[in-house]
Every structure is written in C-alpha cells, then in structure tokens.
C-alpha cells in the first residue's frame, strides 16, 4: 500500500482522471476511456502508456481489421456515386440522353461503364440503339431508390461515421472494395484495465482528497 501511495502522490492530472475512470470490472478502449474521463484522445493515449509503465494498469493490444473510405470513396460520398450522378443527369435531361454525350458530360472514366451496368442491372434505365446513336432512358423504377437513398451511398456514410453495418450492408463490402471505394486496413486497437496496484493507488487518491477537504474546511 505504501508503494501505491507514493506512486499516487506523483501522478499527473491526466493519469489521475484516467485511473478514476477505470474499475476492476471493465476493460475500456481508448475511445471509451476518453468519453468516461473527459480527456481528449491524445491525453488518454499518454495516460494509458504512463499508467501501464507504472503497473497501475494493464494495457492490451489487439489487431483489428478496419474498413475505411479510399480517396475515390470520399469523392463519391461528397459528389454522389457514379450511378447516382448518371440518374440525376438523365432526370435533368428529361429522362433520356445519348450515351456518348452523357459520358462526356459526367467525366467518370471507367466508373461510367460501371454506373451504366449497375443502373441497367437494376432496371433503372434502358439502353437502345436510336437514330442519333445509343439512347439511355430512365424507366421510372429508380425514383424510390433516389428518394430513399442508394444502399451503397448509405454504406459509405456509415463507414465515414464509423457506424456499425447491418448484414445486407456487409454483403456489399466486397463489391465496394472491388470498385476501389473502400479499403481494409489492419490496425492495433488498444484497451486498458486497472491493476491491483492501480486499485490501491486509486484508494490512496481518494484518501488524499478527503484529507484535503477536511483541511480546507478547518481553515475556513
């Protein structure tokens, strides 16, 4: 207990706040500890490292696969998916347009062919040979999807906001990865749990605070 008291007396404020936010019953992630302690992430990372070095807590590291937006994915989220851009352009053109003119207007590169195929596969458009070239027309079946928002677009929004994906959304991940809109990265996730020595130091901190409060009341 004497060792814990000595260590506790020399702790920095961020270490004290982090230690007080921990309990024996739980292991907290970096983000969870930041929320519980009121410290910013940079301060929490430093506090976790220091508490671990002083044996007041045990820091755990676990590799996790994280899905993030690629640069094209960020662009698609900001400007709209290529298939959505195609649908919106056709709407603006009265529901139909000539293939080459649409391709030149959108400037999507190889994504134009994907947008065309995706829209055709979902029966949102028809592609037929006309007098002036290949004509692309809306079928009307795209209206509900545009109104509700495209599933792929919702997935990109969730990934950007670090929100959990549902089963149907997870099934779309390989397709979005193949399109280069998302990336999978292997990251190290850190969490921390208070140790027995840390609990002793925590009790010591509480005792020091009570003594300070008593002295303050006596002075007043």
Q: For residue range 110-143, list pLDDT tens digits in order.
A: 889 999 999 999 999 999 998 878 999 999 999 9
The CA distances from residue 37 to 13, 25, 29, 161, 199, in Å, are 11, 16, 12, 22, 16
Domains of the chain (ranges; CATH) run 2-64+187-219 (1.10.10.10), 69-184 (1.10.10.10)
- Sheet hosting strand 28-29, strand order edge to edge: 28-29, 182-194, 57-69
Q: 106: how many CB neighbours lie within 10 A of its CB?
A: 16
Share of the chain above pLDDT 90, in %: 75
pLDDT in tens, 67-102: 999 999 999 999 999 999 999 999 999 999 999 999
């Amino acid at each position: 207990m004497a060792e814990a008291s000595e260590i506790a007396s020399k702790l920095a404020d961020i270490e004290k706040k982090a230690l007080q936010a921990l309990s024996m019953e739980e292991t907290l992630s970096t983000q969870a500890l930041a929320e519980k302690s009121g410290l910013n992430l940079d301060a929490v990372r430093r506090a976790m490292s220091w508490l671990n070095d002083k044996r007041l807590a045990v820091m755990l590291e676990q590799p996790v696969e994280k899905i993030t937006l690629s640069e094209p994915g960020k662009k698609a989220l900001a400007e709209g998916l290529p298939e959505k851009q195609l649908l919106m352009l056709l709407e603006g053109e009265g529901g139909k347009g000539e293939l080459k003119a649409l391709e030149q207007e959108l400037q999507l590169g190889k994504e134009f062919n994907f947008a065309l195929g995706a829209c055709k596969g979902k029966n949102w458009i028809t592609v037929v040979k006309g007098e002036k070239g290949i004509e692309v027309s809306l079928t009307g079946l795209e209206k509900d999807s545009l109104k509700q928002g495209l599933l792929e677009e919702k997935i990109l929004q969730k990934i950007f906001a670090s929100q959990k994906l549902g089963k149907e959304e997870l099934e779309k991940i390989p397709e979005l990865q193949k399109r280069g809109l998302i990336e999978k990265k292997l990251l190290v996730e850190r969490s921390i749990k208070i140790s027995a020595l840390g609990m002793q130091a925590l009790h010591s901190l509480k005792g020091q605070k009570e003594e300070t409060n008593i002295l303050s009341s006596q002075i007043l």
